[in-house]
Amino acid sequence: MIWCFNGATHLALSRNAYSLNISLKQEKEAKFWNAWAQKTLKNALALQELNKNKAKNLILFLGDGMGVPTVTAARILKGQLHGQSGEETQLEMDKFPFVALAKTYNTNAQVADSAGTATAYLCGVKANEGTVGVTAAAVRSQCNTTQGNEVTSILKWAKDAGKSVGIVTTTRINHATPSAAYAHSVDRDWYSDNEMPAEAVQAGCKDIARQLFENIPNINVIMGGGRKYMFPKNMSDVEYPNISKYSGCRKDGRNLVKEWTDQMKDKKAHYVWNKKDLLSLNPNNVDYLLGLFKPVDLPYHLERNLETDPSLTEMVDVAIKILKKNPNGFYLLVEGGRIDHGHHEGKAKQALHEAVEMDRAIGRAGLLTNIHDTLTVVTADHSHMFNFGGYTPRGNTIFGLAPMMSDVDQKPFTSILYGNGPGFKVVNGARENVSTVDYQENNYQAQSAVPLAMETHGGEDVAVFSKGPMAHLLHGVHEQNYIPHVMAYAACIGQNREHCYSSSGAATVNLAFSSIAALLTVTWLLC
């Protein structure tokens, strides 16, 4: 393989190499590490004064399938994309002062799925795999076990408290993670009535797309994919009119988008289906936004059309600007949903670039909010059978080879490997020689130990990063369903409100301090 660079590229690489050499030289001196540790210690000591303000705003970033190995690899990738070695880089989530671990198991599964876990971190109740918004008393695919077992989510608690609420995802809007915020379904795959058994429809169970519009009226911001599930069967898609698999699929003949636009016609409401229309909106003139950008899931970040497909960061930017207008604050669920898809397909490069893009969105959210009154939590629903190793040297490209051959079959191997998945390949009765393929190609499927059509989830705990009011309550090792209880407590919504008032009924002094801190911050910015 021959690499060709133009002059500008060569200059940039030279500068990056120079910076890296300077950094590596500093790292050879003890004072470099001592100074860094002392600075970190001072920052940690400052955290002894805990932020006990009332959280006006709540943001949950959910990296679907973003286990700890994915976080570490994404950190390295982010640094390498900026010409650094990568290992020393900080993700935006790395800057959060508090970190915990969440136990992800479902009530009936040691290794969890995204539906049961979503019920945990959104509704506060652990549940069976494959079900959303219902307790463990509900049985997957059994419609008659739905009624009486429904549980509500923190999105509803926030809406009931007068806050604006929003959902942003890179998957279809009725996928497992977002659906637990508003739906009660014994089967995560009941995207529309087309995917439901006839007996379930006849028994009165509702598909998830329908529940998006009926269960919690007037969700302020809805952005993601999933257009096909909103339109009547065989109705051509606006973007792909000649591709039948993207046409509407609803058997009941309903046009849920038209119903929404008709219902919202007297409000400041907009429906958009492409990036241009999204970014042309003035958030000050929008109170309700429905954005459905693809018939199913949004494309991978590496493959999106920059002219027509919004990035997760762009969607988050618009969402927060709309939601923050509410003086009572907001709740926003953001899902980097295709991290999971990349891993399932064994495409580590796609998965890690999805994670880096979500981290970029986290940074954007931080610029648009205030740590004094906004609790931000970043976590994952579960992990994957993904890892990297092989004694790679410092600065080794994250998608590169380990520095030695296997001492069993005398062939090279990539640092990134999967425990199982579609990357298992045998050539002439032996493991494929990766040096004969382009292992840094976007859709390269990393080798796996066990052949499977789709790679599986991993069962280890996931990280929970938090900053803002009451973030210190997310510490140690907890059950995953603890997360929304902390967020609700911080915002004085749901069942946690008593602590928000003194015996006289007046708001606690921390609320006043929160307002003063916010005012001082604004004053400083204006000066």
pLDDT value of residue 18: 52
Q: Is 384 annotated as a binding residue?
A: no
From the candidates 19, 23, 85, 114, give the one annotated as an active-site residue: 114
Burial class (CB in 10 A: 0-12, 13-18, 19+), 48: exposed
Tell whether 89 is in a known binding site: no
End-to-end CA gap in the chain: 56
40 is in an annotated binding site: no
> Are the beta carbons of 383 and 371 closer than 8 angstroms?
no
Question: What letter does residue 106 receive in the DSSP assignment?
Answer: B
> Residues 6 or more apart from 104 whose CB is under 8 A from it?
112, 117, 120, 380, 381, 382, 383, 459, 461, 462, 480
pLDDT at 47: 83
64 annotated as belonging to a binding site for a ligand: yes
Residue (of 172, 170, 273) closest to 226 by Cα position:
172
**What CA–CA distance (Å, rounded) separates 432 from 345?**
18
- Taking phi over 0 as left and psi of -120 to 50 as alpha, with beta for the rest, 62 belongs to beta
With H, G, I as helix, E, B as strand and everything else as coil, classify residue 194.
Answer: helix
Cα 479 from Cα 66, distance rounded (Å): 17
Q: What is the DSSP letter of 143?
A: G
425 vs 413, 428, 434, 517, CA distance in Å? 13, 10, 10, 58
Q: Using one digit for the tens of pLDDT, what is the confidence trace for 465-506?
A: 999 999 999 999 999 999 999 999 999 999 978 899 854 333
Residue 261 labeled ligand binder: no
Nearest alpha-carbon partner for 212 in 192, 239, 198, 233: 192
pLDDT at 5: 31
How many angstroms separate the CA atoms of 252 and 247, rounded?
Answer: 15
Q: What's the pLDDT score for residue 496?
A: 78
Residue numbers in the chain where pLDDT is lower than 50: 1-15, 503-509, 511-527
pLDDT score of 498: 87
Q: Residue 516: what pLDDT?
A: 42
User: What are 394-407's pLDDT values in tens digits?
Assistant: 999 999 999 999 99
Give residue 505's pLDDT. 39
Tell me which residue of 159, 191, 183, 223 sits closest to 494, measured CA to CA.
Answer: 159
Does 94 carry a binding-site annotation?
A: no
| pLDDT for position 519 | 43
**Where are the extended beta strands (E) located within 112-186?**
164-172
Domains, the chain, ranges and CATH? 57-385+463-495 (3.40.720.10), 401-451 (no CATH)
Model pTM?
A: 0.92
**Where are the strands (E) in 26-163, listed by range?**
57-63, 98-103
Q: Any catalytic annotation for residue 114?
A: yes
381 in a known ligand binding site = yes
Q: In sequence order, what are the beta bridge partners of 450?
A: 420
Q: At 132, is the secondary structure helix, strand, or coil?
A: strand
Residue 461 in marked binding region: no
The pLDDT value recorded for residue 19 is 57
Q: Is 113 annotated as a binding residue?
A: no
